[in-house]
């Protein structure tokens, strides 16, 4: 299978992509919560706030993002990558 790698710092996903693929009930699962930024500020309290932060700083998006057809996985998921 061919893999296209995209540096999200240079070419971050747009707001529409994030709105479509981030679950509003699990929005923190899509945020890189270990980022030093959260030592200075609280974690986001809503999907909108999480996406606003991601739009300001692409490093807050949990990586890697695996897109296979219509399925999108944020962060490393061994099972998803094995498939």
- E strands, the chain, are 65-68, 71-74
For the chain, give me the number of helices (H) and strands (E)?
4, 2
Q: What is the pTM of this model?
A: 0.86
Average pLDDT over residues 13-38: 94
Stronger pLDDT, 26 or 1, i.e. the higher one: 26
Q: What's the confidence (pLDDT) of residue 6?
A: 85
Q: What angle do CA 62, 49, 39 make, to 5 degrees?
A: 65
Angle at 76 between CA 73 and CA 79, to 5 degrees: 75
Residues 21-32 have pLDDT tens digits of: 999 999 999 999
For residue 25, what are its two tokens? 């009930």
């Amino acid at each position: 299978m061919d893999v296209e790698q995209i540096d999200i710092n240079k070419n971050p996903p747009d707001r529409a992509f994030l709105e479509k693929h981030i679950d509003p009930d699990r929005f923190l699962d899509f945020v890189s919560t270990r980022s030093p930024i959260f030592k200075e500020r609280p974690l986001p309290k809503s999907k909108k706030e999480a996406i606003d932060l991601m739009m300001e700083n692409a490093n807050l998006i949990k990586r890697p993002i695996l897109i296979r057809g219509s399925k999108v996985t944020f962060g490393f998921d061994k099972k998803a990558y094995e498939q």
